[in-house]
Amino acid sequence: MTEDTARPDRTAADGSGGVPGTAGGTPHADGGPPAASGTGGGASGTADGASGASGAPGADAGKLRHHPRFLRLWASQATGAVGDQVLPVALSLYVLERGGGASGVGLVLGGRAVALVLCLLIGGVIADRLRRTRILIGADCFRAVLLLAAGLLLTRLPLGALPVITALVGAGEALSRPASRSLVPNLLPAALLERGNALVSAVQRGSAVLGAMLGVTAVALIGTRTALLVVSGVFALGALVVARIPDERRDAKGRASVLAEAAEGLRAIRRRPWVMAMMGTVCLHLFAGSATALTLLPIVAREELGGDFAYGVVLSAMGIGALPAIVLAGRWRPASRGTVSVVALTGYALVPLSLAAPFPLPAVVVCFALGGFVVELYFVYWVSALQRAFPDAVLGKVFALDQLGAYALLPVGYALVGPLVALLGTTVTLVAGGVVVALSSLLCLLVPGVKRFEDPVPPPAPAARAA
């Protein structure tokens, strides 16, 4: 059976697929996709277009090891995760070694964020137009060639060129992100989405832990130049793994403009206020929490925590902390997944707050580990909710807009850290970031649909209640 025949038919005027739970059946109590009611939904029972995953939630999904195409995608994500983590660590330390400060590190990290903001939308559009495996191969090959050239020419490059390198690598990442996330529901039945997304996150986080330590170790032992050459090879390996995934998805017919297709995805999102609310909340988290903490961490580590090794240990702690959350999210399916996720996200405030005093190194490690835990718990539930809520025709654009919304203010955050530290001091800047993270999380719970990560079911009509 090809994936085109395995997937339910999606039809909706605006591409949003309608509102789950109104035409195709009622939502599961655990927050899953609508079940077939036998009326209005056709054979698939999904006239609302809610679930993008093949197979019904109640079908015998087997185990993840029974889905080899997914396992190949999973393996390719592992290699890319190592490269994604080594690169910013190596270049941040290189900037400091060359005499740059908080502003220099912020520009290097901000280059990636700018590229994500500018290119994610294009990545989402082409993810819904072209075969997604081709996009992943092209993005990995582009980054491999770019980092090969950067490694060979590094000693001749001025510091001002490094943000350009991270921006170009970020552009490749932006092209691959929507494709990889929207490919998962083509490879797994709906009942395995949480476990599949958790496994992808597990290998990414595990590789991120390895990548952070490799970044610090590589710079210390073999230098930044050789580290970039190694990362180039890692991306090339990822392309080879993806090339073995048979992708039977046909290229989409018709070629509307990027803006027209983006508008189609935006209309689908606007029909779900809970999605918009979470996008705004995560945007504030990255702007106020991540930008301040990640920019100031290498500086605080050198001045207060013992040096570059502490920098690598703290970054690795965030990845290690994510691992138990991945296991938990893959097996625990609470009815109010949104409430669990958003309340947990308030704990991310400890990431910038732990650097404000700063706490002793062991306490900072614990706080960053907790930050990794709460983010990953949210992320697995969130990605699975989007894969269920939107049809395949717009799923790539939805993931692109989700990422675009999250990263929209991140470049501004990176750019503001240096001036804010000069004006207010490091402690005030970090405390303010933590407060914004905590308050925005709690306020998000007031939006209908957030508590369950699904569209609120409208109350029955008066006639129905009387009957």
- List pLDDT tens digits, range 18-69: 323 333 332 332 333 333 333 333 333 333 344 344 433 334 456 777 888 8
CB atoms within 10 A of CB 97: 12
**Could you tell me what percentage of the chain is helix, strand and coil, using 3-state DSSP and rounding each to the nearest 5?**
75, 0, 25
- List pLDDT tens digits, range 235-275: 998 898 888 787 666 655 556 676 777 788 889 899 999 99
Q: Tokens 């958790």 appear where?
A: 198
CA pair distance 38, 217, nearest whole angstrom: 59
Q: How many domains does the chain have?
A: 1
- List pLDDT tens digits, range 144-202: 999 999 888 888 888 888 888 888 988 888 888 888 888 888 888 877 888 888 888 77
User: The domain spanning residue 203 has which CATH number?
Assistant: 1.20.1250.20
Name the token pair of 324.
């138990």
- Domain assignment of residue 19, yes or no: no
- Domain assignment of residue 43, yes or no: no
- Domain assignment of residue 421, yes or no: yes
Is the pLDDT at 80 greater than 70? The verdict is yes
Is the pLDDT at 439 greater than 80? The verdict is yes
- Domain assignment of residue 31, yes or no: no
Angle separating helix axes 308-331 and 361-389, nearest 10 degrees: 40
Q: Which residues pair with 189 in a beta bridge?
A: 54
- Domain assignment of residue 3, yes or no: no
Q: Which residues pair with 54 in a beta bridge?
A: 189
- Calculate the CA 437 to chain-centre distance: 18
Is the pLDDT at 12 greater than 80? The verdict is no
Name the token pair of 106.
């912020």
Which sign, positive or negative, has the C-alpha torsion 392, 179, 199, 111? negative
Is the pLDDT at 378 greater than 90? The verdict is yes
Mean pLDDT of 213-238: 83
| pLDDT for the residue numbered 253 | 59
CA pair distance 250, 237, nearest whole angstrom: 25
Which structural domain, as residue segments, surrounds residue 234? Answer: 67-248+268-444
Whole-number average pLDDT of the chain: 78
- Domain assignment of residue 407, yes or no: yes
- List pLDDT tens digits, range 333-358: 888 999 999 999 999 999 999 999 88
| pLDDT for the residue numbered 75 | 80
Phi, psi of 296 (to 5 degrees): -90, -15
- Domain assignment of residue 36, yes or no: no
358: cis peptide before it, omega within 30°? yes
- Domain assignment of residue 209, yes or no: yes
pTM over 0.85: no
